[in-house]
Structure 1
Amino acid sequence: MIAGISLLLAISLCACVDLDTEDVARNAKEFLVKYGYLEEEKHHSKEHFAAAVRDFQWTVHLPVSGDMDDATVHQMHVPRCGMKDVSQAKWLHHRPFHTNHRRKRYTVKSKWYKRHLTYQILNWPWYLSQHQVRQAVKAAFQLWGNVSSLVFSEAAGDSADIRLAFFDGEHNDGARHAFDGPGGALAHAFFPRRGEAHFDNAEHWSLNGKGRNLFVVLAHEIGHTLGLQHSPFKNALMSPYYKKLGNEYVLNFDDILAIQTLYGAPSSGKLVQRPGKDFSMFEDWSAEKSEARAERKDYYCHSMFDAITWDLKDTLYIFKGRKYWMMFPNGTATEPQLTQQRWKKLPAFIEAAAVSGSDGKFYFFKGGRCWRYKGSRLEAGFPRKCSDHGLPRHPDTALYFQPLGHLVIFKGYKYYVFNEKSLKVEPYYPRNLHDWKGVPHSTNAALTHPNGLIYFFKGEHYWTFDQNNLKVTASGKWKQDLPWLGCQRS
């Protein structure tokens, strides 16, 4: 135990390792080939490579130098669409009276020769209910329908013009289109008239800020299925790097011009974009409003919950959306209850929660803020912006780690030890997740079980972590393997 705790508290002698320049160059070439900046050949001259880098830098609005500087390397690792970009030569338009190039509207690939298109959702991501996904898909199609002559409807049968599906890894689209897990290429699509859009099922898809915004990615990929290529405009929906559409979720003028070039303006002759509230309030699209199963005690079993924790009386708390459930030691469970009725001023869709093992206080995290409650009473000074004191924004999960006597917050490949008295991150943190041998990155929830094991949850899977040996000792599917969650009867 002492050796294990020393490992977790050890000071990292080196905060970072310089990347090998050859690895950077090799990865950059693979990236530039994949996204259409270099031809697929084994050898590229330094001049061609530098020209491709400049082309990419221009596309993503970085200083055009041709050098693989830090900003360029970073941008190549930012999550994006898996479709190729249009080359700069096709985007540029020379103007004799202007010294710089003007960014021209992107070209269109092909089009549908009808105005009423049908779509079908072939399968569903793990993290969201079918109702939420269906509503997000409907809204994403409507975003384009509002500014064009197109009309969309979900197909009732097995055939549809446009098909949407979620896949893992290689899925018969070729090696270039194989999904690479969280990050990287999030999705790709095919132009008319194949009309398919595929999404990486390993992503944590979300509609409320925790994880990848499915609505934005849907709307972008649907644009491809309608015939649109990538746009060089930074704020366009069809930019290669997914952009939030703003508070009102309206399209950029470049998106509108492109879709109307293919299909014309709305039949009414008026350009009316739906108000932002129709798209931004995804939390109101809760399945509780339309699915009978939402009233079941075990609704949280049908998709991933947001957070989970155990209090000092061995009562289990499960949080999902606006509601929470309690599971008592005797195996009985409560009906779903509104989180904000018990914990006043707490927002819906919390991102992480933990109960302190020292005093039983509840901690909640969302965005860069944290809340602390004694029972149901919000303590003075909360909520506060904990990200100002070293905690990450939008944490993945949190738990109380008894050997350290502190909360531990997880985010991506790092973890942070949070001092409950100072409300600051302990010195020498964050540290790499490698200290927690076998725990996957970007987990959704975690808790310490009364049996002494720590459970981590991600998607439909769980991992048990032994606090004494500091390593994962088992894994499986939580719905079927963990009876104390109350899901085996669902």
Structure 2
Amino acid sequence: MVARVGLLLRALPLLLWGRLDAQPAERGGQELRKEAEAFLEKYGYLNEQVPKAPTSTRFSDAIRAFQWASHLPVSGVLDRATLRQMTRPRCGVTDTNSYAAWAERISDLFARHRNKMRRKKRFAKQGNKWYKQHLSYRLVNWPERLPEPAVRGAVRAAFQLWSNVSALEFWEAPATGPADIRLTFFQGDHNDGLGNAFDGPGGALAHAFLPRRGEAHFDKDERWSLSRRRGRNLFVVLAHEIGHTLGLTHSPAPRALMAPYYKRLGRDALLSWDDVLAVQSLYGKPLGGSVAVQLPGKLFTDFEAWDSHSPQGRRPETQGPKYCHSSFDAITVGSHFWEVAADGNVSEPRPLQERWVGLPPNIEAAAVSLEDGDFYFFKGGRCWRFRGPKAVWGLPQLCRAGGLPRHPDAALFFSPLRRLILFKGARYYVLARGGLQVEPYYPRSLQDWGGIPEEVSGALPRPDGSIIFFRDDRYWRLDQAKLGATTSGRWATELPWMGCWHANSGSALF
């Protein structure tokens, strides 16, 4: 009887959710529809419809277009998921023409006419681009709660993101001189029209204007942050709005930086293939035949920690190596690794390929087997196994064929099971011997590991039998016997064996 009651209690929220999804209009239906119509008109979905069409048809078609651009099920019905999407914080620039421009771009790509693409793609009007490749910018002001050097570092990195993949070059103009692009933080109405007035936290976070006006405006009252896991990430919003000042409209491509709802920092490159094609169609590829440089989002998680362009933000070398000033992934940063002794002495950074020939940069997960000493590395859907410096498998293996997750967060050799374990999001996978096949009945929920957060960036077994999990600047210590977290804190200052603090001063890095 107890088990049956438990099942009923677990099913009840699902039943209530289903009712709300089925009839969202029961809660002030007319009011919700008016709000949705105002949203669709503001962002260009109703304006793109045929004026002679019946009102109900125009509204349904607008909902379909919005659902398609937002990667929702396309039904034409104002359901709960669509309403929720409309309330999410987003860019204040209209989505007008993004649907048609993106569809035409895809059509041309499949037709193999990549070099014959018409010039109207991904910018609203003919000629809305800069007719020079060297552009100046100025940061007019910045949020009071953020340090100026860190904000300037984020601005530089945001411009560099676009110059890495195009022929554009940017430089910061003097405070008293003219600038092509100006970045300014405003409160409320700032003479851009009532429709562009900022509304505090949430809602429209920023908006920008296409080339020649060269302005991007940001809501000064937003809870801005330069860290990935607190507040609203300013770097992503900066990079997105700068894209508008270069002439790009919104992109409905999956995981695009120029999507109307700002993307989250993660392991994938910040610019999607559509972002790169869009800016290159306007300004060409990088000059001198250089290769476009794409960087993963995890390199931009904390500007307050690694800004190095001003004396205020520079860290003394005695306070630890590079990985101490940002986040690391699989105990590596980019294409380098460090060896840390038990007493906290840290080696110089060494190239991954110097130790393990054939490994690519930006490894996503790594672990060493405590049974045979072999090293396992994971990236994307591939994995490598090394015995010392020599590859065991010869060539990288397609691990996804055995049910392993693509882009794992972390890897660990778990002594009680004598198995490798992969972590991805809110789940974990136990691998069979050899590392290429997931054991039956897996993956399982990360709740089995009481208190360990999702999306960890690394895991290390310790001599005392505990396991240390890392994410950004924090750590969690797991008791293997109890499978539960016992302590947590900041690894740079609280784990001296990580080599990230000066033994005499105990100076904090974060």
1:322: how far off? Answer: 1.7
2:217 aligned residue (191, 195, 199): 195
* Structure 2 Cα separation of the partners of residues 345 and 112 of structure 1: 42
Q: Are residues 1:274 and 2:286 paired? A: yes
* Structure 1 Cα separation of the partners of residues 153 and 98 of structure 2: 38
AA at the equivalent of 1:385: L
- Which residue in the other structure is 2:250 paired with? 230
- Which residue in the other structure is 2:505 paired with? none
Cα distance change on mapping 1:320 and 1:479 into 2, 3 Å: same
1:246 aligned residue (261, 273, 287): 273
AA at the equivalent of 2:278: L
Q: What are the residue-to-residue correspondences of 1:440-455 with 2, within 5 Å?
A: 440-455=453-468
Q: Are residues 1:20 and 2:17 paired? A: yes
Where relative contact order (Cα < 8 A, 6+ residues apart) is larger, the structure is: 1
- Which residue in the other structure is 1:305 paired with? 328
Deviations 1:244-285 (A, max 9, x none): 4539934269x84xxxxxxxxxxxxxx6442684432559x9
1:411: how far off? Answer: 0.9
* Structure 1 Cα separation of the partners of residues 275 and 248 of structure 2: 22
* Structure 2 Cα separation of the partners of residues 229 and 89 of structure 1: 8
1:329: how far off? Answer: 2.5
2:66 aligned residue (56, 59, 67): 56
RMSD over aligned CA atoms reads 5.5
Q: What are the residue-to-residue correspondences of 1:97-108 with 2, within 5 Å?
A: 107=124
- Which residue in the other structure is 2:488 paired with? 475
Kindly indicate whether the alpha-carbon contact (under 8 Å) linking 2:164 and 2:294 is maintained by their aligned counterparts in 1.
Answer: no
- Which residue in the other structure is 1:36 paired with? 39
Kindly indicate whether the alpha-carbon contact (under 8 Å) linking 1:38 and 1:49 is maintained by their aligned counterparts in 2.
Answer: no
1:388: how far off? Answer: 1.4
Give the match's secondary structure for 2:420. Answer: strand
Cα distance change on mapping 1:378 and 1:131 into 2, 3 Å: farther
Tell me the TM-score normalised to structure 2 length.
0.61
Give the match's secondary structure for 1:307. Answer: coil
Q: What are the residue-to-residue correspondences of 1:354-433 with 2, within 5 Å?
A: 354-421=367-434, 423-433=436-446
1:194: how far off? Answer: 5.4
1:482: how far off? Answer: 0.8
- Which residue in the other structure is 2:91 paired with? 83
Q: How many residues align?
A: 401
Deviations 1:63-103 (A, max 9, x none): 8541589xx969988xx98215636699889xxxxxxxxx9
Q: What are the residue-to-residue correspondences of 1:115-194 with 2, within 5 Å?
A: 117-120=136-139, 136-140=157-161, 142=163, 146=167, 152-155=170-173, 162-163=182-183, 174-177=200-203, 188-191=206-209, 193=215
AA at the equivalent of 1:468: A
Kindly indicate whether the alpha-carbon contact (under 8 Å) linking 2:167 and 2:286 is maintained by their aligned counterparts in 1.
Answer: yes
* Structure 1 Cα separation of the partners of residues 426 and 90 of structure 2: 23
Cα distance change on mapping 1:143 and 1:376 into 2, 3 Å: closer
- Which residue in the other structure is 2:498 paired with? 485
- Which residue in the other structure is 2:104 paired with? none
* Structure 2 Cα separation of the partners of residues 367 and 131 of structure 1: 33
* Structure 1 Cα separation of the partners of residues 467 and 494 of structure 2: 15
Cα distance change on mapping 1:49 and 1:470 into 2, 3 Å: farther
1:483: how far off? Answer: 0.6
1:338 aligned residue (347, 351, 371): 351
Give the match's secondary structure for 1:345. Answer: coil
1:394: how far off? Answer: 1.0
Cα distance change on mapping 1:61 and 1:473 into 2, 3 Å: closer
Tell me the TM-score normalised to structure 1 length.
0.63
The unaligned stretches of length 5 or more in structure 2 are 1-9, 26-31, 43-54, 102-119, 186-197, 264-269, 301-305, 503-508
Deviations 1:383-409 (A, max 9, x none): 201111111111111111122221111
1:131: how far off? Answer: 11
AA at the equivalent of 2:498: L
* Structure 2 Cα separation of the partners of residues 437 and 342 of structure 1: 36
1:24: how far off? Answer: 4.4
Kindly indicate whether the alpha-carbon contact (under 8 Å) linking 1:118 and 1:162 is maintained by their aligned counterparts in 2.
Answer: yes
Kindly indicate whether the alpha-carbon contact (under 8 Å) linking 2:165 and 2:293 is maintained by their aligned counterparts in 1.
Answer: no
Q: How many percent of aligned residue pairs carry the same amino acid?
A: 36
* Structure 2 Cα separation of the partners of residues 74 and 382 of structure 1: 46
Deviations 1:93-151 (A, max 9, x none): 9xxxxxxxxx997658xx999996423496999xxx9999676433345489958xxx8
1:323: how far off? Answer: 1.5
Kindly indicate whether the alpha-carbon contact (under 8 Å) linking 2:451 and 2:485 is maintained by their aligned counterparts in 1.
Answer: yes
The unaligned stretches of length 5 or more in structure 1 are 1-12, 40-44, 94-102, 166-171, 179-186, 206-211, 257-270, 309-318
* Structure 1 Cα separation of the partners of residues 208 and 15 of structure 2: 38
1:468: how far off? Answer: 2.0
* Structure 2 Cα separation of the partners of residues 250 and 113 of structure 1: 17
AA at the equivalent of 1:323: H
* Structure 1 Cα separation of the partners of residues 378 and 152 of structure 2: 26
Cα distance change on mapping 1:26 and 1:146 into 2, 3 Å: farther
Higher helix share: 2
Kindly indicate whether the alpha-carbon contact (under 8 Å) linking 2:166 and 2:285 is maintained by their aligned counterparts in 1.
Answer: no
* Structure 1 Cα separation of the partners of residues 17 and 495 of structure 2: 44
AA at the equivalent of 1:299: K
1:369: how far off? Answer: 0.7
Kindly indicate whether the alpha-carbon contact (under 8 Å) linking 2:328 and 2:472 is maintained by their aligned counterparts in 1.
Answer: no
Cα distance change on mapping 1:376 and 1:58 into 2, 3 Å: closer
Cα distance change on mapping 1:203 and 1:359 into 2, 3 Å: same
